[in-house]
Every structure is written in C-alpha cells, then in structure tokens.
Structure 1
C-alpha cells in the first residue's frame, strides 16, 4: 500500500512537470524564430553592422523570493519573448516608413526631371524650326518654252566677307601637343575666344561626339552652351547646358552648366525655371561647387529676382 502511495505521488509530480516542459519547448522555438527575424531586420535596417543578436533587455532576476519558484525560467523566457516582439514591431515599422519616404522622393524627382525635359525641349525645337539653312538655293520658276543649254560659267570667286571669315579662321593656331583629345578641345576654345562662334560650335560638338566618356567632353559641352549664349541663342544654350548636366553630373563642368542654364533661362524670360536651376545648383553641389560658380550664381540669382 505504501508503495502504491509513492508511485501515485511520482506520477502526479511527472504529470505536473510535463506542461511546463512542453511550454518551455514551445517558448524556446518561439524565441529562436523571433531571433532569426530580428537578425534579418537588423541586416536591413543596419547594413554592415554586427550580425550578432544583442541580449534581451529583460535580464534574469536573481533576487530570492518570487524568482525562486519553479516556474521562474518560464516567466523570464516569456518576458524576453515580449521584448523581442516589441522590438521587432518597432524596427519593421521604421523600415516600412523609410521605404515609403524613399518611394515618394523618387516619384517627386522623376516628375521634376520630366517637367524640366519638356520645358527645355520646347524652346530648342522652336529655335531649330526657326533656322533656315543658308546653304539652300533659292528656287525660281522655269520658262515654259524649251531653253538652250546654257554655256558653262566660270567659277564664282568667294565673296569678300567669306574670304575675310576664312582668313580669321586660318589665323587661329591649331594646337599640336600630341594629345589628340586635348588639342581638339583647345582648338575649339581658341575659336570661341576669337568670337568665331559657328566654327567653335562645330569643333566642340565633334569633341563631345568623338570622346563622350572623356573629361574633355564635359568641358566641350559646357563651352558649346557658352558659344550659343554669346552668339545670342539662349534657347540652344539652355539645351546644351542641360544635356551636359544631365549626361555628366559628376563632370568637371557640370556645376558651371547648371549655373549657366539658369542664366540662359533668365534671358528667355523664364525666371521661375531659372530660379529652379539655381536652387538645384545649391541642393546638388552646395559648397562643393567651385568658388567662381557660386559667385556668378549669386549675381545671376539677384538679377533674376530669385
């Protein structure tokens, strides 16, 4: 009878400990799952950081009394799970908020870029349509009666202005240092400096087309815009400056082109767009822009009323 009593006591004790063991096992799996999720969130929110999971904020309480009970490990584990869930929810919310803000910024930038592209394409197209090529011959109405074959005429001598222009171009020395790219750009610069703007434009365009990846392409495209601007063609100048900034934002003359684009737009009477260009110069380059660009931009902004 006494043996049966001890056996019954042992069975009752075992039955009482089984739910606690099962609960420990379930909570252990829960903690393991949460720790894996927390490490994944950490890698997303803190890239490059330590992948080691940090210790729980709730440490075990070693004080005697309540913590000495048999279910104290379960209470500690439950508290740690609650802390992990709270931290995971906070980090997940921050990640979703950052992703939303990034998408909104990308949308705004795309809309602004599309607007600038559209506005700059309009004056360029209008300016190109307004140009009549000087090389097109004038058409005349032919007589209805058959005409005799005209006698060959001697070749016409070049007019005085053309000869004078050719003499000016020939007076510009063609550099020959052995650096083909630099020589080509320097020749375009010398033509521009001599105020031979159409010839300078043709030379600078060839530099950009032949060496688009060279740093000289940034110099040449910017100087092309200045040649248009100096010739009194601000619409073509604005397009040239914008293309240099858009295609080569890290080029050595990108800040200059963005500043001069504002100047060209101001000359076109589009002061609001000019002010946008000056603001973008401050936002994108700021103090990294060369001092001469910042000085000229400050004067141009005052003139445009920005």
Structure 2
C-alpha cells in the first residue's frame, strides 16, 4: 500500500515537473511574439506618421529565430495567442497598404517628371521673348502703380524724345506715325530705375504698341532677372505676344517665367496663360496639363482672378 502511494505521488510530481516547463515555454513564446509585434508596429507608425509622437523609437526589428507556435488549449495563453495572431494579421494589412501608398507616390513623381521633360522638349527655352495671341476677356495683369510722369526711363534716360528700346522693335525703320505714337507714351521717372523700366513697358503694352513693349520688357528681365519685377515683366511679355497674335512665343515666355521663377508673384498667372496659349495653338491636351498643374502646384494659393479665369479657359478647352 505504501509503495503504491509512493509510486502515484512520484508520477504526479513528474507530470507537474514536465507540464511546468511547457507552460513556461508557451508563455515565453507568446511574450516574444508580442515584443516583436510592438517593435514592428512602432516601425510602421514611423513610416505612416513620421515624427508624429515622442513615443516613436528607432528601428529595433530583428528576425526571430524561433517562430511562435499556436497553443491549442482553452487556457488564457490560448486566448492571448489568438489575439496576437489577429494583431499580426492587421499589421500585415497595414504594411501592405503603406507599401502600396509609397508605390503610388513614386508613380506620380515619375509621371510629373516625364511631363516636365516633355514640356522642356516641346517648348524650346530659347525664345524667352517672342510672339503670341489671347482673348480680350483675359484679365489685365495688375501692374504696380504707374510712377509719376517725367523723363528718365529705365532703359534710355532720355525724356519723351526717344523711349528706351521700343523703336528697335519695329523690325525695320519705324515710320513717322509709329514714332509719334511711341512718343505719346509718357516715360516714368520716379527715381526707381527698375520700377520705371517695368512701368514704361506696361504703358507701351496698354497703348497696344506690342513690339515696343516686348523690347522694353525683355530689357527689364535681362537687367534684373532675380528681382520680383522680373516675374511681372516676363509674364507681361507673354501677354504682349498673345495680344500681338503670336501664341507660340507667348507659350514659351509664360513657360520660362513659371520654370525660372516658380515662387514669383506672377508664376500662377503665367501657368494659366500658358494653357490659354497652348489651346490657341490647337494643343488642347497640353493646355489641359498646364491647367491641371496650376491646380496641383498652387491650388487655393493662386489668386482668385487666376482661378476664375483658369476655370473658364479649362471649360473652353474642353478639359
């Protein structure tokens, strides 16, 4: 009898001794998987919300040599394992979505780069100042307040007698009637050479003396290429080409202004007018690309008049 009890007691002790390490091993395996999951989740959070919260840490994911095993039991360990499995599944889905978003972003960047390259090929950057045409309904570029009258313009410091560059713009010898019209345009003399030069070009454009205005505005851009005034002058140069019936040169002038001075005060205007010029050339697909780029690059930052005119121009081009 005593021997029998001793034998049973020994067997129970052995069973407990064997079961304990198994339970401990299962707990350790689940704890490992939870740790790994937390690390991976933090890595995904850093990818999806970079720098979003101070709780994010540096990458700490390393391959696990002992993959987890499902514990088939009704114990709390089994419940925890099921929850870990669900978490792993969600993490895989989130990782897949992040990778998909990154891929789409790369594709968008490629398309945009291809469009830029295509525009560079189609619109040769050489003709920064040449002809184009535009509808009368287009808004007039708001010139910075015209300066007070008096001789001493930007390009040729000689009073109403010989304006800066205009006469040279008439291809051959300007006739007397043309010269008389040019002389009627008052040359500003406020003491600000850069402003006066632009204002004089604006006045020539307003007087519909387009070749003279083009020559004067080119002078402003060449002399002060980095100034904000250059953005106004290059945009108005494109307008002068458009109004002069030369849409191809206008498209070039507008494109150069947008490309060289994307942050300039008249960059959104130039992008919108480039679309109009391309539409006049019968290149509707390219015109629509220009209007689309206006929306993508400037959006609501573009002045209201530009957005209004762009909407009308898009409808006209059938975009």
Please tell me the TM-score bracket, short chain as reference: 0.5 to 0.7
Tell me which of 70, 75, 87 is aligned to 1:72: 75
1:273 paired with 2:286, answer yes
Cross-structure match for 1:235: 248
1:93 paired with 2:96, answer yes
TM-score (norm 1): 0.68
Cross-structure match for 1:220: 233
SS in structure 1 opposite 2:123?
helix
Tell me which of 31, 34, 52 is aligned to 1:31: 34
Tell me which of 33, 46, 65 is aligned to 2:49: 46
1:174 paired with 2:194, answer no
Higher share in helix: 1
Once the 2 structures are TM-superposed, how far is the Cα of residue 167 of structure 1 from its aligned partner?
8.6
Once the 2 structures are TM-superposed, how far is the Cα of residue 269 of structure 1 from its aligned partner?
3.5
- Separation (CA, whole Å) in 2 of partners of 1:86 and 1:305: 47
Once the 2 structures are TM-superposed, how far is the Cα of residue 83 of structure 1 from its aligned partner?
2.3
Once the 2 structures are TM-superposed, how far is the Cα of residue 287 of structure 1 from its aligned partner?
5.2
Cross-structure match for 1:254: 267
Once the 2 structures are TM-superposed, how far is the Cα of residue 222 of structure 1 from its aligned partner?
0.4
User: Are the structure 2 counterparts of residues 282 and 16 from structure 1 closer, same or farther at C-alpha, using a change threshold of 3 Å?
Assistant: closer
User: Are the structure 2 counterparts of residues 206 and 14 from structure 1 closer, same or farther at C-alpha, using a change threshold of 3 Å?
Assistant: farther
User: Where in structure 2 are the equivalents of 1:1-306 lying within 5 Å?
Assistant: 9-50=12-53, 52=55, 72-121=75-124, 161=175, 165=179, 168=182, 172-178=186-192, 180-282=193-295, 284-285=297-298, 288-301=301-314, 304=317
TM-score (norm 2): 0.65
Once the 2 structures are TM-superposed, how far is the Cα of residue 223 of structure 1 from its aligned partner?
0.7
Dislocated runs of 4+, deviation >6 Å: 1-4
User: Are the structure 2 counterparts of residues 240 and 49 from structure 1 closer, same or farther at C-alpha, using a change threshold of 3 Å?
Assistant: same
User: Are the structure 2 counterparts of residues 26 and 251 from structure 1 closer, same or farther at C-alpha, using a change threshold of 3 Å?
Assistant: same
Once the 2 structures are TM-superposed, how far is the Cα of residue 170 of structure 1 from its aligned partner?
8.8
Cross-structure match for 2:141: none
Once the 2 structures are TM-superposed, how far is the Cα of residue 280 of structure 1 from its aligned partner?
4.1
1:210-256 C-alpha deviation (Å, 9 max, x unpaired): 44443322212101111222333221111011122233334322232
SS in structure 2 opposite 1:121?
coil
- Separation (CA, whole Å) in 2 of partners of 1:302 and 1:14: 82
Gaps of 5+ in 1: 54-69, 129-134, 136-158
Bigger radius of gyration among the two: 1
Contact map agreement 2:278 2:284 (CA 8 A) in 1: yes
- Separation (CA, whole Å) in 2 of partners of 1:209 and 1:112: 28
